[in-house]
Amino acid sequence: MTRLERKNRTDIETFKGRGGINDVIDDFMKGLWRINDDEYDYIAEFATDDELQILLPELKSFNDKRKAINVVNKLIIEFRNK
């Protein structure tokens, strides 16, 4: 499932309005990558340190953004096939 295919999902809860700063950051990342809680937990558990570093939302080159999208897509496919 690509990021574009995840565009109109209804199972993503972002900005639930509870918790501390960590929840705000988690909700931001889920909204940015259009993933749900289970997919986010899977990525956090199984992504390598290098992959997690790529996913951080910073000003990056186009190539870095493409790599980040590919990492998320790969991990979502793994999550769906487990």
pLDDT of residue 11: 66
Rounded Cα distance, 47 and 78, in Å: 11
- pLDDT the model gives residue 19: 63
Q: Domain of 29?
A: 21-81
**Which run of H or E residues covers position 54?**
helix 49-55
Q: pLDDT tens-digit profile of 4-13?
A: 666 666 666 6
Query: Is 70 inside a domain boundary?
Result: yes
Please give the Cα distance from 56 to 25 (Å, whole number): 11
Is residue 37, in this structure, part of any structural domain at all? yes
| Structure-token pair, residue 58 | 């910073």
> Tokens 């080159």 identify what position?
61
The predicted pLDDT at position 46 comes to 93
Q: Is residue 76 part of a domain?
A: yes
Establish if 56 belongs to a structural domain.
yes
**Structurally, how many domains does the chain consist of?**
1
pLDDT in tens, 28-81: 888 888 888 889 999 999 999 988 888 877 767 888 888 888 999 999 999 989
CA 9 to chain centre: 14
Question: Does the residue 11 lie in any domain?
Answer: no
The answer to whether residue 12 is domain-embedded is: no
Which amino acid type is present at position 10? Answer: T
Question: Which pLDDT does position 74 carry in this prediction?
Answer: 93
